[in-house]
């Protein structure tokens, strides 16, 4: 089962999923939107008023990955042209190095941005389905739809590994020695790799999971 969000106030929250100032990370998640979406956050890592990395849907419901610094100044942004299909499971993944990020949708690269900086990237929380815009529980940009099988690796996954994830391979089967966070989001809200607890705020509900190969 996945977790569904109502687009109004529901979100899942946990702590720092990848440590402080890593030199490279990769993030993977399955996404299924439900209805019109305008600038909605899917998954974000943030600290205080510094919004670091996030997957989101823009005003045209196009998939995006972005990096923003303190004051919410956009430093890097990659957009996959074309609205995300409604009621269809889609795979998002990004590989981030010290100075670049490549964003993939369903295993296909949407582009690379060389404006990213991993320096001082020390998030205090990771959130699914919304973003704490000020660092003081000012939750915004709530997503409507379902999310499933979220993973974070230290290091950059290659194109073949990302293709495997987009075909339904679960995160724990891809470079497990580098996997630092894995939340299947199947009923239990627990990070199976690092042991972080994931808190369900305002009753995000269990939903049908995409087909994966464990």
- Encode the chain (214 residues) as per-residue pLDDT tens digits: 799 999 999 999 999 999 888 899 999 999 999 998 888 999 999 876 666 789 999 999 999 999 876 655 667 899 999 999 999 999 999 999 988 899 999 999 999 998 877 766 778 899 999 998 777 788 999 999 999 999 999 999 999 999 999 999 999 999 999 999 999 998 889 999 999 999 999 999 999 888 887 6
Say how far residue 89 (Cα) sits from the centre of its chain. 14
- Can you tell me the distance from the alpha carbon of 44 to that of 93, in angstroms, rounded to the nearest whole number? 13
pTM: 0.95
Which has the closest alpha carbon to 185: 154, 140, 145?
A: 145
Q: Are 100 and 112 in contact (CB under 8 A)?
A: yes
With respect to CATH, is domain 2-207 assigned 2.60.120.200? yes
Within 105-207, residue ranges assigned H as helices are 159-166
Position 50 scores a pLDDT of 65
Task: Count other Cβ atoms within 10 Å, centred on residue 187.
Answer: 11
Contacts of 65 (CB under 8 A, 6+ apart): 53, 54, 55, 77, 78, 92, 94, 101, 103, 110
So what's the pLDDT on residue 120?
67
Residue 212 pLDDT = 81
């Amino acid at each position: 089962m996945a977790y569904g969000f109502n687009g109004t106030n529901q979100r899942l929250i946990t702590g720092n999923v990848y440590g402080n100032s890593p030199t490279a990370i990769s993030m993977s998640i399955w996404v299924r939107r439900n209805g019109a979406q305008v600038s909605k956050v899917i998954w974000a890592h943030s600290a205080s008023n510094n919004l670091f990395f996030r997957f989101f849907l823009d005003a045209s419901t196009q998939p995006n990955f972005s990096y923003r610094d303190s004051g919410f100044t956009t430093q890097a942004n990659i957009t996959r042209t074309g609205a995300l299909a409604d009621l269809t499971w889609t795979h998002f993944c990004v590989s981030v190095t010290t100075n670049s990020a490549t964003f993939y949708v369903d295993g296909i690269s949407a582009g690379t941005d060389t404006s990213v900086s991993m320096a001082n990237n020390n998030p205090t929380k990771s959130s699914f389905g919304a973003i704490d815009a000020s660092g003081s529980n000012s939750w915004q940009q709530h997503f409507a739809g379902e999310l499933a099988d979220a993973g974070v690796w230290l290091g950059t996954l290659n194109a073949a590994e990302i293709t495997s994830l987009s075909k339904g391979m679960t995160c724990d089967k891809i470079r497990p020695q580098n996997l630092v966070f894995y939340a299947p989001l199947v009923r239990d809200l627990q990070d199976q790799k690092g042991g972080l607890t994931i808190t369900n705020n305002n009753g995000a509900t269990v939903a049908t999971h995409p087909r994966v190969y464990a």
